[in-house]
Amino acid sequence: MDTTATAVIVAIDGPSGTGKSSTSKAVAAQLGLSYLDTGAQYRAITWWMVHNGIDITDPAAIAAAADKPEIVSGTDPSAPTITVDGTDVAGPIRTQDVTSKVSAVSAVPEVRTRITELQRSIAAAAPHGIVVEGRDIGTTVLPHADLKIFLTASPEARAARRSGELKGADVNATREALLKRDAADSGRKVAPLAKADDAIEVDTSDLTLQQVIECVVTLVEEKRATK
Ligand SMILES: Nc1ncnc2c1ncn2[C@@H]1O[C@H](COP(=O)(O)OP(=O)(O)O)[C@@H](O)[C@H]1O
Ligand SMILES: Nc1ccn([C@@H]2O[C@H](COP(=O)(O)OP(=O)(O)O)[C@@H](O)[C@H]2O)c(=O)n1
Protein backbone atom coordinates (compact mmCIF):
# COMPACT_ATOMS: atom_id res chain seq x y z
CA MET A 1 0.00 0.00 0.00
CA ASP A 2 1.24 3.49 -0.77
CA THR A 3 1.25 5.11 2.66
CA THR A 4 2.89 8.34 1.52
CA ALA A 5 -0.41 9.57 0.09
CA THR A 6 -1.98 9.48 3.55
CA ALA A 7 1.10 10.44 5.55
CA VAL A 8 0.47 13.62 7.49
CA ILE A 9 3.21 16.18 8.09
CA VAL A 10 2.83 18.41 11.16
CA ALA A 11 5.14 21.36 11.90
CA ILE A 12 5.25 22.71 15.48
CA ASP A 13 7.33 25.83 16.04
CA GLY A 14 7.81 28.34 18.83
CA PRO A 15 10.27 29.60 21.40
CA SER A 16 11.74 27.65 24.31
CA GLY A 17 9.41 26.43 27.05
CA THR A 18 6.17 26.80 25.10
CA GLY A 19 5.60 23.02 25.19
CA LYS A 20 6.81 21.96 21.73
CA SER A 21 8.64 18.78 22.78
CA SER A 22 6.08 17.47 25.25
CA THR A 23 3.17 18.24 22.92
CA SER A 24 4.84 16.88 19.77
CA LYS A 25 5.89 13.60 21.40
CA ALA A 26 2.44 12.98 22.89
CA VAL A 27 0.58 13.87 19.67
CA ALA A 28 2.86 11.65 17.58
CA ALA A 29 2.52 8.73 20.03
CA GLN A 30 -1.26 9.08 20.17
CA LEU A 31 -1.66 9.21 16.38
CA GLY A 32 1.01 6.65 15.38
CA LEU A 33 3.29 9.22 13.73
CA SER A 34 7.07 9.62 13.85
CA TYR A 35 8.61 12.47 15.86
CA LEU A 36 11.61 14.71 15.21
CA ASP A 37 13.16 17.14 17.71
CA THR A 38 15.16 19.49 15.47
CA GLY A 39 16.48 21.45 18.47
CA ALA A 40 18.23 18.24 19.57
CA GLN A 41 20.02 18.15 16.19
CA TYR A 42 21.28 21.74 16.58
CA ARG A 43 22.29 20.92 20.13
CA ALA A 44 24.12 17.80 18.89
CA ILE A 45 26.16 19.68 16.28
CA THR A 46 26.93 22.34 18.93
CA TRP A 47 28.07 19.63 21.36
CA TRP A 48 30.35 18.19 18.64
CA MET A 49 31.88 21.64 17.92
CA VAL A 50 32.61 22.22 21.62
CA HIS A 51 33.89 18.64 22.09
CA ASN A 52 36.28 19.08 19.15
CA GLY A 53 37.66 22.44 20.25
CA ILE A 54 36.06 24.49 17.44
CA ASP A 55 35.97 28.21 18.34
CA ILE A 56 32.24 28.87 18.43
CA THR A 57 32.77 32.63 18.24
CA ASP A 58 34.25 32.10 14.75
CA PRO A 59 31.48 31.47 12.15
CA ALA A 60 34.07 30.53 9.48
CA ALA A 61 35.50 27.80 11.71
CA ILE A 62 31.98 26.48 12.40
CA ALA A 63 31.13 26.57 8.68
CA ALA A 64 34.31 24.65 7.78
CA ALA A 65 33.45 21.88 10.24
CA ALA A 66 29.68 21.76 9.60
CA ASP A 67 29.86 18.68 7.32
CA LYS A 68 31.96 16.56 9.65
CA PRO A 69 29.73 15.12 12.40
CA GLU A 70 27.27 12.38 11.52
CA ILE A 71 24.02 13.09 13.36
CA VAL A 72 21.39 10.37 13.61
CA SER A 73 17.92 10.92 15.12
CA GLY A 74 15.67 8.06 16.23
CA THR A 75 12.07 9.08 15.54
CA ASP A 76 9.99 6.81 17.81
CA PRO A 77 8.05 9.31 19.97
CA SER A 78 8.09 6.93 22.95
CA ALA A 79 11.90 6.66 22.84
CA PRO A 80 13.52 9.41 20.74
CA THR A 81 17.31 9.09 20.39
CA ILE A 82 20.18 11.25 19.14
CA THR A 83 23.72 10.14 18.35
CA VAL A 84 26.78 11.91 16.95
CA ASP A 85 29.30 9.65 15.20
CA GLY A 86 27.67 6.74 17.01
CA THR A 87 27.86 8.29 20.51
CA ASP A 88 24.62 8.74 22.47
CA VAL A 89 24.52 12.48 23.29
CA ALA A 90 20.97 12.74 24.69
CA GLY A 91 22.35 13.80 28.08
CA PRO A 92 25.32 16.02 27.12
CA ILE A 93 23.27 18.14 24.69
CA ARG A 94 21.09 19.43 27.57
CA THR A 95 23.91 21.03 29.61
CA GLN A 96 23.86 24.78 30.30
CA ASP A 97 27.10 25.07 28.31
CA VAL A 98 25.51 23.68 25.13
CA THR A 99 22.28 25.66 25.74
CA SER A 100 24.25 28.92 25.94
CA LYS A 101 26.14 28.20 22.69
CA VAL A 102 23.53 26.62 20.43
CA SER A 103 22.10 29.89 19.04
CA ALA A 104 25.54 30.98 17.75
CA VAL A 105 26.18 27.64 16.04
CA SER A 106 22.67 27.35 14.59
CA ALA A 107 22.91 30.84 13.04
CA VAL A 108 25.70 29.71 10.67
CA PRO A 109 24.19 29.16 7.19
CA GLU A 110 26.31 26.05 6.42
CA VAL A 111 25.05 24.43 9.62
CA ARG A 112 21.44 25.18 8.71
CA THR A 113 21.80 23.87 5.15
CA ARG A 114 23.23 20.59 6.40
CA ILE A 115 20.67 20.08 9.18
CA THR A 116 17.73 21.20 7.02
CA GLU A 117 18.58 18.55 4.38
CA LEU A 118 18.74 15.91 7.08
CA GLN A 119 15.36 17.00 8.46
CA ARG A 120 13.69 16.89 5.05
CA SER A 121 15.00 13.39 4.34
CA ILE A 122 13.79 12.12 7.73
CA ALA A 123 10.32 13.64 7.16
CA ALA A 124 10.08 12.15 3.66
CA ALA A 125 10.94 8.67 4.97
CA ALA A 126 8.36 8.60 7.79
CA PRO A 127 5.86 5.88 6.78
CA HIS A 128 2.70 7.33 8.36
CA GLY A 129 3.81 10.94 8.68
CA ILE A 130 5.68 12.89 11.32
CA VAL A 131 5.48 15.66 13.88
CA VAL A 132 8.54 17.91 13.48
CA GLU A 133 9.22 20.56 16.13
CA GLY A 134 11.60 23.50 16.01
CA ARG A 135 11.90 27.16 15.08
CA ASP A 136 11.77 27.26 11.24
CA ILE A 137 9.85 24.11 10.32
CA GLY A 138 6.70 25.80 9.02
CA THR A 139 8.56 28.65 7.32
CA THR A 140 11.60 26.91 5.81
CA VAL A 141 12.11 23.19 6.40
CA LEU A 142 8.61 21.93 5.51
CA PRO A 143 6.71 24.88 4.00
CA HIS A 144 4.14 22.45 2.53
CA ALA A 145 3.34 20.76 5.87
CA ASP A 146 -0.31 19.68 6.19
CA LEU A 147 -0.66 21.45 9.52
CA LYS A 148 1.44 24.21 11.10
CA ILE A 149 1.17 25.15 14.77
CA PHE A 150 3.01 28.03 16.44
CA LEU A 151 3.11 27.70 20.23
CA THR A 152 3.61 30.76 22.42
CA ALA A 153 3.51 31.45 26.18
CA SER A 154 4.41 34.37 28.41
CA PRO A 155 8.09 34.63 29.39
CA GLU A 156 7.00 34.13 33.02
CA ALA A 157 5.19 30.86 32.29
CA ARG A 158 8.09 29.60 30.17
CA ALA A 159 10.70 30.51 32.79
CA ALA A 160 8.66 28.85 35.55
CA ARG A 161 8.40 25.64 33.49
CA ARG A 162 12.11 25.59 32.63
CA SER A 163 13.34 26.38 36.13
CA GLY A 164 11.05 23.61 37.39
CA GLU A 165 13.04 21.21 35.18
CA LEU A 166 16.47 22.61 36.10
CA LYS A 167 16.09 21.97 39.82
CA GLY A 168 17.04 24.99 41.90
CA ALA A 169 17.60 27.29 38.91
CA ASP A 170 16.75 30.93 39.62
CA VAL A 171 13.55 31.83 37.76
CA ASN A 172 14.71 35.38 36.88
CA ALA A 173 18.05 34.17 35.52
CA THR A 174 16.22 31.48 33.53
CA ARG A 175 13.82 34.10 32.15
CA GLU A 176 16.72 36.36 31.06
CA ALA A 177 18.53 33.43 29.40
CA LEU A 178 15.35 32.44 27.51
CA LEU A 179 14.77 36.00 26.28
CA LYS A 180 18.39 36.29 25.15
CA ARG A 181 18.11 33.05 23.15
CA ASP A 182 14.73 34.16 21.67
CA ALA A 183 16.34 37.41 20.49
CA ALA A 184 19.29 35.59 18.90
CA ASP A 185 17.02 32.99 17.23
CA SER A 186 14.51 35.59 15.98
CA GLY A 187 17.19 38.01 14.81
CA ARG A 188 19.42 35.74 12.73
CA LYS A 189 19.54 36.26 8.96
CA VAL A 190 18.85 32.68 7.82
CA ALA A 191 15.60 30.94 8.79
CA PRO A 192 14.88 32.87 12.00
CA LEU A 193 12.36 31.77 14.61
CA ALA A 194 9.08 32.95 13.07
CA LYS A 195 5.44 32.04 12.73
CA ALA A 196 4.48 30.97 9.21
CA ASP A 197 1.61 33.01 7.75
CA ASP A 198 -0.55 29.90 7.59
CA ALA A 199 0.32 28.59 11.08
CA ILE A 200 -2.29 28.35 13.85
CA GLU A 201 -1.07 30.17 16.95
CA VAL A 202 -1.81 28.60 20.33
CA ASP A 203 -0.97 30.53 23.52
CA THR A 204 -0.24 27.83 26.12
CA SER A 205 0.29 30.17 29.12
CA ASP A 206 -3.02 29.25 30.76
CA LEU A 207 -3.54 25.80 29.26
CA THR A 208 -2.49 22.51 30.79
CA LEU A 209 -0.21 20.29 28.72
CA GLN A 210 -3.15 17.88 28.31
CA GLN A 211 -5.32 20.67 26.87
CA VAL A 212 -2.62 21.62 24.35
CA ILE A 213 -2.20 17.97 23.31
CA GLU A 214 -5.96 17.55 22.83
CA CYS A 215 -6.15 20.75 20.78
CA VAL A 216 -3.36 19.64 18.42
CA VAL A 217 -4.67 16.04 18.13
CA THR A 218 -8.06 17.42 17.08
CA LEU A 219 -6.47 19.68 14.45
CA VAL A 220 -4.40 16.78 13.02
CA GLU A 221 -7.43 14.48 12.91
CA GLU A 222 -9.42 17.14 11.05
CA LYS A 223 -6.61 17.47 8.50
CA ARG A 224 -6.30 13.70 8.08
CA ALA A 225 -10.03 13.37 7.48
CA THR A 226 -9.87 15.79 4.53
CA LYS A 227 -6.64 14.52 2.92
N1 LIG B 1 0.84 23.77 28.98
C2 LIG B 1 1.76 23.47 29.90
N3 LIG B 1 1.55 23.75 31.19
C4 LIG B 1 2.46 23.50 32.13
N5 LIG B 1 3.67 22.93 31.89
C6 LIG B 1 3.95 22.64 30.62
C7 LIG B 1 3.03 22.88 29.56
N8 LIG B 1 3.61 22.50 28.41
C9 LIG B 1 4.83 22.03 28.72
N10 LIG B 1 5.04 22.10 30.05
C11 LIG B 1 6.26 21.73 30.79
O12 LIG B 1 7.20 22.76 30.51
C13 LIG B 1 8.49 22.23 30.31
C14 LIG B 1 9.01 22.65 28.91
O15 LIG B 1 8.24 22.00 27.93
P16 LIG B 1 8.86 21.51 26.54
O17 LIG B 1 7.84 20.64 25.91
O18 LIG B 1 10.23 20.95 26.75
O19 LIG B 1 8.96 22.92 25.78
P20 LIG B 1 9.79 23.32 24.49
O21 LIG B 1 10.05 22.05 23.71
O22 LIG B 1 8.90 24.28 23.76
O23 LIG B 1 11.04 23.97 24.99
C24 LIG B 1 8.36 20.72 30.50
O25 LIG B 1 8.74 20.41 31.81
C26 LIG B 1 6.89 20.44 30.28
O27 LIG B 1 6.43 19.34 31.00
N1 LIG C 1 14.47 24.31 13.95
C2 LIG C 1 15.33 24.77 14.86
C3 LIG C 1 15.38 24.20 16.14
C4 LIG C 1 16.28 24.69 17.05
N5 LIG C 1 17.14 25.67 16.69
C6 LIG C 1 18.20 26.16 17.58
O7 LIG C 1 18.45 25.21 18.59
C8 LIG C 1 18.26 25.78 19.88
C9 LIG C 1 17.78 24.73 20.84
O10 LIG C 1 16.49 24.34 20.48
P11 LIG C 1 15.58 23.48 21.48
O12 LIG C 1 14.28 23.27 20.80
O13 LIG C 1 16.32 22.29 21.95
O14 LIG C 1 15.44 24.49 22.71
P15 LIG C 1 14.52 24.33 23.98
O16 LIG C 1 13.15 24.72 23.54
O17 LIG C 1 14.59 22.91 24.43
O18 LIG C 1 15.07 25.27 24.97
C19 LIG C 1 17.37 26.99 19.65
O20 LIG C 1 17.53 28.00 20.64
C21 LIG C 1 17.86 27.46 18.27
O22 LIG C 1 19.05 28.23 18.37
C23 LIG C 1 17.06 26.24 15.43
O24 LIG C 1 17.81 27.15 15.11
N25 LIG C 1 16.15 25.77 14.53
CA of 86 to the centre of ligand 1 (A): 29
Q: Say whether pLDDT at 218 is over 80.
A: yes
Distance CA 9, CA 213 (A): 16
175: in domain: yes
The model's confidence at residue 1, banded by pLDDT at 50, 70 and 90, is very low
227: in domain: no
164: in domain: yes
The model's confidence at residue 227, banded by pLDDT at 50, 70 and 90, is confident
Instruction: For ligand 1, say whether the CB of 204 is within 6 Å of any of its atoms.
Output: yes
pLDDT in tens, 80-118: 999 999 999 999 999 999 999 999 999 999 999 999 999
101: in domain: yes
The model's confidence at residue 5, banded by pLDDT at 50, 70 and 90, is low
CA of 134 to the centre of ligand 2 (A): 6
Contact 134, 122 (CB under 8 A): no
Rg of the chain (C-alpha set): 17
Percent of the chain scored above 70 by pLDDT? 97
Listing DSSP states for the chain in one string gives ---TTT-EEEEEE-STTSSHHHHHHHHHHHHT-EEEEHHHHHHHHHHHHHHTT--TT-HHHHHHHTTSS-EEEE--TTS-EEEETTEE-TTGGGSHHHHHHHHHHHTSHHHHHHHHHHHHHHHHH-SSEEEEEESSIIIII-TT-SEEEEEE--HHHHHHHHHHHSTT--HHHHHHHHHHHHHHHHH-SSS-S---TTPEEEE-TTS-HHHHHHHHHHHHHHHHHH-
Q: Which domain holds residue 31?
A: 8-220
Number of domains in the chain: 1
- What is the domain-level CATH number for residue 57? 3.40.50.300
108: in domain: yes
Distance CA 181, CA 16 (A): 8
Residue 121 assigned ligand-binding role: no
Which one, of 98, 83, 10, lies nearest residue 47 by Cα? 98
225: in domain: no
pTM: 0.96
1: in domain: no
CA of 19 to the centre of ligand 1 (A): 4
ipTM of the complex, rounded to two decimals: 0.98
Q: Provide residues with CB under 6 Å of ligand 2.
A: 16, 38-40, 42-43, 102-103, 106, 134-137, 181, 185
Phi (first) and psi of residue 64, to 5 degrees: -65, -25
174: in domain: yes
Mean pLDDT for 205-212 is 98
Mean pLDDT estimate for the chain:
95
